[in-house]
């Protein structure tokens, strides 16, 4: 049988190949080459399954680090987050990299891995700078003030982590209920779930790939009155107050920096549950946000913390770069395949991740876990 040119992935989207070859492959190759070079300079040899990484003091095959980057980057970028919530517990408990160097290494990973998603969503037109700008600026302010909050009003941080944990458990439950609700409504009504289902079924019947979101459907800015922004995606509109976005970004940034974690696990549930933004839209704000916040975190670790604490904690550069190479590929794959995954699946994944993260914080308050959160 001859291949139908409309059906093959490459013919369906020749730009997909070009996008990968021009944007992604050079970035991934550069990060990998840098990882090998740093490993060579730092240790004078190539660490991996036979020889231990010098700071992590562990033997891990390089393919496993790249795979960890891929699966954490993929699953988290699908829901608009960086890899931290999965990558940190996995690194500390399964791979057993649990010394001081793990925190800056994680910051390096969470800074680099969403770049695949950033470029991927940009090409898919799931991109809106008006939506991203003020929440990112809030993130910069919050991210810089977080470490000072940590040594002043949040010096006793455990009751605060319990409150964050309980909030996340509640948000996770809420998102799972929304997922079930969306699954029920997929064949009725005029909402996004129903439109996705109709589009995917129509394409499947034509023998095409079952994408529920048409290719190139952009997030448009419709109007701007004072601080009020109106955006449109697939004939649906949302009004967003830029001041609220800035304050949300600043609060999430401050809390995240004070706790020493990435901001996506807080920001995405807020956007999904409170602002009711679809997952296909909120990535336009949250992916740039997690990059900005991780960048601020790296800056804090490199310049501010040494000035306050007197010592700089170095990341395990090669480890972080190997993971980031896989993460860039994974998060790009997420950006390219998100339009095939129904909103109720994405909400279920997000609800599950949020609920698990919250449960870990709550459990850690009563029974300390074998890894640091």
Partner 1 sequence: MRVGGMKNLHNLLPYLPFIVLALAVVVAIYHIEVYW
Based on CB atoms, which residue is closest to partner 1, 53 or 246?
A: 53
The two three-digit tokens of residue 225, written as one number:
């009155």
Q: Which residue has the tokens 């160097």?
A: 101
Distances 297 to 134, 140, 148, 304, 319 between C-alpha atoms, Å: 18, 9, 13, 10, 18
The two three-digit tokens of residue 59, written as one number:
């033997």
Judged by CB under 8 A, which of 37, 51, 94, 100 binds partner 1?
94
Site string for partner 1, 242-261 (x = CB under 8 A): --------------------
Task: By CB under 8 A, tell whether 202 contacts partner 1.
Answer: no
3-state SS assignment for residue 371: coil
Which of these ranges, 93-101, 104-112, 159-167, 179-187, lies near partner 1 under the rule CB under 8 A? 93-101
Q: How far is the CB of 94 from partner 1 (least distance, A)?
A: 5
Q: How far is the CB of 89 from partner 1 (least distance, A)?
A: 11
Task: By CB under 8 A, tell whether 227 contacts partner 1.
Answer: no
∠ at Cα 138 (137, 143), nearest 5°? 100
User: Across the chain, where does the E strand assignment appear?
Assistant: 220-225, 228-233, 236-241
Task: By CB under 8 A, tell whether 370 contacts partner 1.
Answer: no
The two three-digit tokens of residue 282, written as one number:
């909120």
Task: Give the count of residues interacting with partner 1 (CB under 8 A).
Answer: 32
Q: Which residue has the tokens 């944990």?
A: 165
Based on CB atoms, which residue is closest to partner 1, 75 or 242?
A: 75
Task: By CB under 8 A, tell whether 97 contacts partner 1.
Answer: no
Q: How far is the CB of 61 from partner 1 (least distance, A)?
A: 9
Judged by CB under 8 A, which of 349, 357, 360, 373 binds partner 1?
349
Task: By CB under 8 A, tell whether 71 contacts partner 1.
Answer: yes
CA distance 167 to 146: 19
CA distance 301 to 313: 7
Judged by CB under 8 A, which of 18, 46, 59, 228 binds partner 1?
59
Residues 6+ apart with CB under 8 A from 362: 162, 165, 166, 169
CA distance 161 to 80: 23
Judged by CB under 8 A, which of 217, 337, 359, 372 binds partner 1?
337
Which of these ranges, 207-215, 258-266, 270-278, 364-372, lies near partner 1 under the rule CB under 8 A? 207-215
Residues 6+ apart with CB under 8 A from 35: 317, 318, 321, 322, 325
CA distance 114 to 72: 11
Judged by CB under 8 A, which of 90, 148, 170, 365 binds partner 1?
90
Task: By CB under 8 A, tell whether 20 contacts partner 1.
Answer: no
3-state SS assignment for residue 231: strand
Q: How far is the CB of 7 from partner 1 (least distance, A)?
A: 6
Site string for partner 1, 161-200 (x = CB under 8 A): ---------------------------------------x
Decide if 254 contacts 146 (C-beta within 8 A).
yes
Q: Which residues bind partner 1 (CB under 8 A)?
A: 1-4, 7-9, 59-60, 64, 67, 71, 74-75, 78, 90, 94-96, 200, 204, 207-211, 337, 340-342, 345, 349
């Amino acid at each position: 049988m001859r291949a139908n040119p409309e059906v093959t992935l490459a013919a369906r989207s020749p730009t997909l190949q070009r996008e990968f070859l021009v944007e992604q492959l050079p970035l991934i190759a550069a990060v990998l080459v840098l990882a090998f070079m740093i490993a060579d300079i730092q240790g004078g040899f190539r660490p991996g399954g036979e020889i231990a990484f010098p700071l992590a003091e562990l033997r891990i095959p390089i393919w496993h680090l790249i795979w960890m980057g891929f699966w954490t980057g993929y699953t988290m970028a699908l829901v608009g987050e960086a890899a931290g919530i999965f990558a940190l517990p996995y690194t500390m408990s399964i791979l057993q990299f649990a010394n001081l160097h793990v925190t800056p290494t994680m910051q390096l990973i969470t800074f680099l891995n969403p770049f695949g998603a950033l470029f991927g969503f940009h090409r898919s037109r799931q991109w809106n700078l008006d939506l991203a700008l003020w929440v990112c600026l809030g993130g910069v302010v919050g991210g810089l003030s977080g470490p000072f909050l940590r040594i002043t009003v949040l010096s006793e941080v455990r009751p605060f982590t319990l409150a964050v944990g309980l909030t996340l458990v509640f948000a996770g439950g809420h998102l799972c209920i929304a997922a079930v609700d969306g699954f029920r409504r997929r064949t009725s009504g005029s909402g996004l779930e129903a439109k996705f289902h109709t589009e995917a079924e129509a394409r499947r019947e034509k023998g095409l790939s079952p994408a529920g979101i048409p290719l190139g459907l952009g997030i448009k800015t419709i109007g701007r009155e004072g601080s009020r922004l109106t955006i449109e995606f697939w004939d649906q509109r949302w009004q967003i107050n830029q001041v609220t976005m800035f304050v949300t970004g600043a609060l999430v940034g401050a809390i995240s920096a004070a706790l020493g974690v990435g901001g996506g696990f807080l920001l995405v549930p807020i956007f999904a549950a409170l602002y009711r933004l679809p997952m296909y839209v909120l990535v336009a704000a949250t992916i740039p946000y997690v990059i900005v916040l991780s960048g601020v975190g790296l800056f804090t670790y490199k310049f501010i913390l040494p000035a306050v604490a007197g010592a700089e904690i170095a990341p395990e550069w090669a480890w972080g770069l190997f993971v980031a190479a896989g993460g860039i590929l994974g998060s790009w794959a997420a950006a390219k395949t998100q339009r095939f995954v129904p909103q109720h699946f994405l909400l279920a994944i997000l609800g599950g991740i949020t609920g698990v993260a919250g449960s870990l914080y709550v459990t850690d308050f009563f029974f300390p876990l074998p890894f640091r959160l």
